[in-house]
Amino acid sequence: MRKTFQKWLFVFIASAFALTFAFSFLIQTRQARDNALTLIRLKIADARRQLTTMEDNLRRVTELTSTMALGKARALARLVELSPAMLSSPDDLESTRLLLDVDELHVSDARGILIASIPRAYEGYDMAGAAQSAAFLPALTDPAFALVQDPQPKGIDHQLFQYAGVARRDAPGIVQIGYHPRRLLEAAKLADIRGIAAGFRIGNHGSIMICRGHEVLSYSWSEFGLSELMAAGLNRPALLRKSSFDVTVGGIDYLGVAQEHHGYRIIGILPKNEMYISRNAVIGVLVVVNVLLFIVVFVLVSILVQRIVIDGIYEVNSSLELITRGDLEVKVDVENSNEFKALSEGINSTVAALKNAIRETAARIDAELKFAQAIQVSGLPDPSPDFPDHPQFSLGAVMHTAREVGGDFYDYQVIDADHVCFLVADVSGKGIPAALFMMTSKTLLHNLAASGLSAAEVFTVGNRQICENNEAGMFVTAWMGILELSSGRLECVNAGHNPPLLKRRQGGYDYLRIRPGLVLGGMNNVNYRSHQIVLTPGDRLVLYTDGVTEAQNSAGQLWGEESLVQALQAITPENAPFSQILAGIKAAIDAFADGAQQADDITMLTLEYHGAAAEAAAEVVLAATVENVQALQEFVGARLAGLNASVKVQNQVQVAAEEIFVNIARYAYAAGAGEATVAFWPEPGPPARVVLQFRDRGVPYNPLARPEPDVTLPAEERPVGGLGIYLVKKSMDAVDYQYLDGQNVLTVSKNL
């Protein structure tokens, strides 16, 4: 860098010496003109700055006045909201006016009629009576309305006044303050440009003139009158098209420059006889001075730049490179000059302030996030609730956020005496935005479910409302179920969420896979479809978010769905408390993660159905053969004997059980024999009834989809088959078929 600098320094100084020696007169002549133009432009720049300063001062005073006025209007609105009684107290109004330091204050009702005013003479005035006051009428319908008017004559007495107003906070209406804009008027007087030019002189006899269009607003010549200036053409806008111009005023030649500034034209001129005063004196000594200057400047500049600038720049850049890489402990210590010393201290102070700001910001964010976490947790229902009035079910939940706040949530509520709603959901994203979106979505879905809508309707309406206010483009995956406690019938709907796990009382955990719909918030006007299954006493559901199955270890491997099933099956005993089940899953995830940081929120909810009478169903497993019909009838008859059932009801139940079992024995298994599980349980209702459920792992077959036989035909003309299930449907009060977990599940019930 040093050699390059010296080389170019020598080239520039030598060239300057040669050119000065050869063309000194020409250069000095041009320099004199350039200096004159520079001087004129500097004076014009001073005038422009003066104009800008005056305009800025006027604008700042206007903005400050408007801000203060709007603040006072809002303060008055707040005072009215806190103490509406002051509207009927002239003394309180006068005290408030003095406190706010305004000349007038007014409060209107919802019609725009002033109901409280200082002065009191304005009470009863209709704000729509004049254009000035009517400008505030939108505040009657817009709570966010705020307006500060420019000073203008009042509609009542035409006195110059300024008003500011906002909408009332306590009720529809207008809150308005008014004052004499004395400070603004004084600033406007100070900003009058007509007196600017008098303060600027260029050289001994040059000066400034300010025009707008052809109008001369300000000029400072005492030697000439306005008519002479206009006769010379100084008021012509065409001067702006020239970088400089020559003009003769009163027989004297001038050099001039015109510039435009915010709609004004500023013209500066300097007599030409003042331009060349120094030129002749400079020419005589120019050669000697240039030689000496060449030697001295070259040597001194080379030494000084190397020692004071170049070395210091290298050292500062070296330290700055470390700082920009993130090492905030580096200190810059360059003291080649006072400037570098100040620069070093400034950089060190900036780095220290940056470190303090980082620490303070981190502490503040931690405190705010902890507070946000407390708010979020308080918005979720009890994770270990007790339902003494509803022994038909029990549930438990847990949520572990990846950060202080998260986007997962769970919810449940008893809708009425026979229905409970529960769900688990996951909002896209993490942190504060996801937490806010989560609270909004949870409240919306909770309220819709409480209104009595079906699960599909809750998601359909909720999705529409989420899309309408989803400027952030976020979405929610959710799984909701509404359980009918008396029958075990579960209506469920899936909005792009993970499938829950279902454990039958006599079986293991299997995924309950129903066709999912689109995520909530993804697209408007989506109609969701619900699915129905029947839970029997002892059945259990486990709902979760993807933070469970997508938990990662340090190698980036996912825990997976199969690991979740294995973790659940490993928990003993099977009827372990929900807290133990959920804690067992979390412990299994933590063991798999092996210290890796939790990447996503983990939320789980488990529900167990105990049955309408809060008792387990009786079951029997029979070989699916016609010979076991007798054993089936003995099983059903023994249970019916302990109930208050009529002979007719007992016969209908026995006949239905026989028809269903015979169909399973004959058609369920294509080759060889299989088994059929028959469950029986009573439900107290109302209405009181008995429920029979048949489960087999034969060929999937829905008997309810078979067309009903035409019983009007003679027996010999009717096709074979279908009559048995027809009799079942006619004799039973409810018949339901599901294919779950690889089983045909046919459930019938009969009211006692």
**What residue segments make up the domains of the chain, in order of their start?**
60-188, 194-275, 299-378, 380-609, 618-751
> In angstroms, rounded to a whole number, what is the distance separating the alpha carbons of residues 39 and 267?
13
Residue 714 is predicted with a pLDDT of 66
Residue 471 is predicted with a pLDDT of 79
- Out of 243-247, 727-731, 736-740, least confident range: 243-247
Q: Is the pLDDT of residue 97 over 50?
A: yes
Q: Is the pLDDT of residue 437 over 90?
A: no
Query: Using the 8-state DSSP alphabet, how is residue 497 labeled?
Result: P
What does 216-268 look like in DSSP terms, one character per residue? EEEE--SSS-HHHHHHTTTT-GGGGGSSSEEEEETTEEEEEEEEEETTEEEEE
More confident position, 604 or 614:
604
* Inter-CA distances, 555 with 336, 552, 558, 593, 596, Å: 53, 8, 9, 9, 9
> In angstroms, rounded to a whole number, what is the distance separating the alpha carbons of residues 681 and 692?
7
Q: Is the pLDDT of residue 375 over 70?
A: no
Mean pLDDT of the chain: 83
> In angstroms, rounded to a whole number, what is the distance separating the alpha carbons of residues 633 and 286?
132
Position 615 confidence tier, pLDDT thresholds 50, 70, 90? very low
Count how many residues are written for the chain. 752
More confident position, 316 or 547:
547
Q: Is the pLDDT of residue 232 over 90?
A: no
Q: Is 65 exposed, middle or buried (0-12, 13-18, 19+ CB in 10 A)?
A: buried
Q: Is the pLDDT of residue 88 over 70?
A: yes
Residue 635 is predicted with a pLDDT of 92
Which amino acid makes up residue 550? E
The CATH architecture of the domain made up of 618-751 is 2-Layer Sandwich (3.30)
Please identify which residue in the block is written with the tokens 């429920």.
691
Residue 371 is predicted with a pLDDT of 52
Cβ proximity of 193 and 175 under 8 Å: no
> In angstroms, rounded to a whole number, what is the distance separating the alpha carbons of residues 384 and 396?
5
* Inter-CA distances, 712 with 224, 655, 704, Å: 125, 22, 20
Q: Which long-range contacts (CB under 8 A, 24 or more apart) does 81-84 make?
A: 81/168, 81/169, 81/170, 84/170
Residue 677 is predicted with a pLDDT of 93
Q: Is the pLDDT of residue 564 over 90?
A: yes
In degrees and rounded to multiples of 5, residue 559 shows phi and psi of -65, -50
Q: Is the pLDDT of residue 137 over 70?
A: yes
- Out of 8-17, 551-560, 612-621, least confident range: 612-621
Domains 60-188 and 380-609 share a fold: no
Residue 614 is predicted with a pLDDT of 39
Domain 60-188 indexed as CATH 3.40.47.40: no
Write out pLDDT tens, residues 55-80.
Answer: 777 778 778 888 888 999 999 999 99
Phi-psi region of 525 (alpha: psi -120 to 50; beta: other; left: phi over 0): left
Mean pLDDT across 119-129: 90
What does 378-436 look like in DSSP terms, one character per residue? HTSPPSS---TT-TTEEEEEEEE-SSSS-SEEEEEEEEETTEEEEEEEEESS-HHHHHH
> Which range scores top for mean pLDDT: 1-10, 293-302, 420-429, 686-695?
420-429
Percent of the chain surpassing pLDDT 90: 32
Kind and range of the H or E element at 734? Answer: strand 734-740
Q: Is the pLDDT of residue 499 over 90?
A: yes
193 closest CA partner among 160, 222, 215? 215
3-state secondary structure of 726: helix
> In angstroms, rounded to a whole number, what is the distance separating the alpha carbons of residues 660 and 745?
11
Position 308 confidence tier, pLDDT thresholds 50, 70, 90? low
Domain 380-609 indexed as CATH 3.60.40.10: yes
Position 300 confidence tier, pLDDT thresholds 50, 70, 90? confident
Mean pLDDT across 485-492: 90
> In angstroms, rounded to a whole number, what is the distance separating the alpha carbons of residues 39 and 270?
9
More confident position, 190 or 658:
658
162 closest CA partner among 43, 72, 33? 72
Residue 368 is predicted with a pLDDT of 54
Residue 505 is predicted with a pLDDT of 76
Residue 157 is predicted with a pLDDT of 63
Mean pLDDT across 260-282: 79
Write out pLDDT tens, residues 461-479.
Answer: 999 999 987 877 889 999 9
**Cβ neighbours for 566, distance < 8 A, ≥ 6 positions apart:** none
> Which range scores top for mean pLDDT: 308-322, 343-357, 584-598?
584-598
Q: Is the pLDDT of residue 616 over 60?
A: no
Q: Is the pLDDT of residue 155 over 70?
A: no
Q: Is the pLDDT of residue 511 over 50?
A: yes
Q: Is the pLDDT of residue 117 over 50?
A: yes
Domain range 194-275, its CATH number among 3.30.450, 2.40.128, 1.20.120, 1.10.40: 3.30.450
Q: Is 298 exposed, middle or buried (0-12, 13-18, 19+ CB in 10 A)?
A: middle
Write out pLDDT tens, residues 185-203.
Answer: 665 555 556 666 666 778 7
Work out the angle at residue 55's Cα, subtended by the Cα atoms of residues 51 and 56, and round it to the nearest 5 degrees.
115
Please identify which residue in the block is written with the tokens 């002051």.
86
List the structure tokens of 515. Answer: 């066709």
